């Protein structure tokens, strides 16, 4: 019987922590890109596109992320593609993140007074010019705080990728706990590491929120 010190456990968890970070970044960046595309489709594409994006958002917000992960894992495999946990987790988390971000950003764009659209439209600006010069600069300022806040949800969401065999912090925790027979210590460390990762982001989001509210009030 080998004895494992706290440092052995922590060191191995820290090694796994980087995959949590990498997966979070993939989901956040990928979700941001897809979300931005969906937002433009919703703003520009007429009623049908708006409805389709609305359905997309409702689908991802109204079903468990765990099921989305399973569907990506088994769904991509149906097409005869050998799917790794990496692919499935990246795809599912990107789609999930995009649905939330597009909804958050839509709210931010909607909070820009209608007069701004009308005024810029009457100056003969095209939709692209309106977005670039008038709407987005204002909407982005409002959007930063909730977007950073959502990053915490994404980081926590990556923990579910452990269920389809993606070895990140949570999965590593389960494996180490099985090897060391010290579940209490291991899962305390896992929770602590997530906290260390998420808490600064939460605080930063709160600070940003206070700033934007101060500026607008």
Partner 1 sequence: MGIEFDFGAVLAEWPLLLRGVAWTLGLTAVGTVLGLAVGTLCAWARSGGPTWLRVLASTYVELIRNTPFIVQLFFIFFGLPAAGVKLSPEVASIIAMVMNLGAYSTEIIRAGIEATPKGQIEAAVSLALSKAQVFLRVVLPPALKKVWPAMVSQIVIVMLGSAVCGQISTEELSYAANLIQSRNFRAFESFIVATLIYLALAVALRRLLNWAGPRFFFGR
Residues lying near partner 1 in the complex (CB under 8 A) are found at 58-59, 62-68, 70-71, 74-75, 78-80, 152, 156-157, 159-160, 162-163, 170, 173-174, 177, 182-188, 190-191, 194-195, 198-199, 202
CB of residue 158 to partner 1, shortest distance in Å: 8
Provide the 10 A C-beta neighbour count for residue 137. 11
Residue 97 vs 162, nearer CB to partner 1: 162
* Listed residue (54, 26, 58) closest to 154, CA to CA: 26
CB of residue 156 to partner 1, shortest distance in Å: 4
Residue 26 vs 92, nearer CB to partner 1: 92
Residues 6+ apart with CB under 8 A from 92: 65, 68, 69, 71, 72, 73, 161
Q: How far apart are CA 50 and CA 145, in angstroms?
A: 25
Q: How far apart are CA 16 and CA 51, in angstroms?
A: 40
CB of residue 140 to partner 1, shortest distance in Å: 24
CB of residue 3 to partner 1, shortest distance in Å: 16
3-class secondary structure for 33-76? HHHHHHHHHHHHCHHHHHHHHHHHHHHHHCCCHHHHHHHHHHHH
CB of residue 161 to partner 1, shortest distance in Å: 10
Residues 6+ apart with CB under 8 A from 72: 83, 88, 89, 91, 92, 95
CB of residue 143 to partner 1, shortest distance in Å: 19
Residue 109 vs 151, nearer CB to partner 1: 151
Residue 84 vs 202, nearer CB to partner 1: 202
Residue 3 vs 114, nearer CB to partner 1: 3
Residue 110 vs 191, nearer CB to partner 1: 191
Dihedral angle over CA of 159, 5, 188, 64, nearest 10: 20
């Amino acid at each position: 019987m080998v004895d494992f010190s706290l440092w052995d456990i922590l060191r191995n968890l820290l090694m796994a922590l980087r995959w949590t970070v990498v997966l979070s970044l993939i989901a956040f960046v990928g979700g941001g890109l897809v979300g931005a595309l969906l937002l433009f489709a919703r703003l520009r594409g007429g009623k049908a596109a708006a409805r389709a994006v609305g359905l997309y958002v409702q689908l991802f917000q109204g079903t468990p992320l765990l099921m989305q992960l399973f569907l990506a894992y088994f769904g991509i495999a149906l097409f005869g593609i050998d799917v790794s946990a990496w692919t499935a987790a990246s795809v599912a988390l990107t789609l999930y993140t995009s649905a939330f971000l597009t909804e958050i950003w839509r709210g931010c764009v909607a909070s820009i007074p209608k007069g701004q659209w009308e005024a810029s439209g009457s100056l003969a600006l095209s939709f692209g010019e309106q977005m670039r010069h008038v709407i987005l600069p204002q909407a982005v300022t409002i959007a930063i705080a909730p977007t950073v806040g959502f990053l915490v949800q994404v980081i926590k969401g990556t923990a579910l990728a452990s269920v389809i065999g993606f070895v990140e912090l949570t999965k590593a925790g389960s494996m180490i706990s099985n090897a060391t027979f010290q579940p209490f210590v291991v899962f305390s460390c896992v929770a602590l590491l997530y906290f260390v990762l998420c808490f600064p982001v939460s605080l930063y989001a709160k600070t940003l929120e206070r700033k934007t509210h101060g500026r607008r009030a």
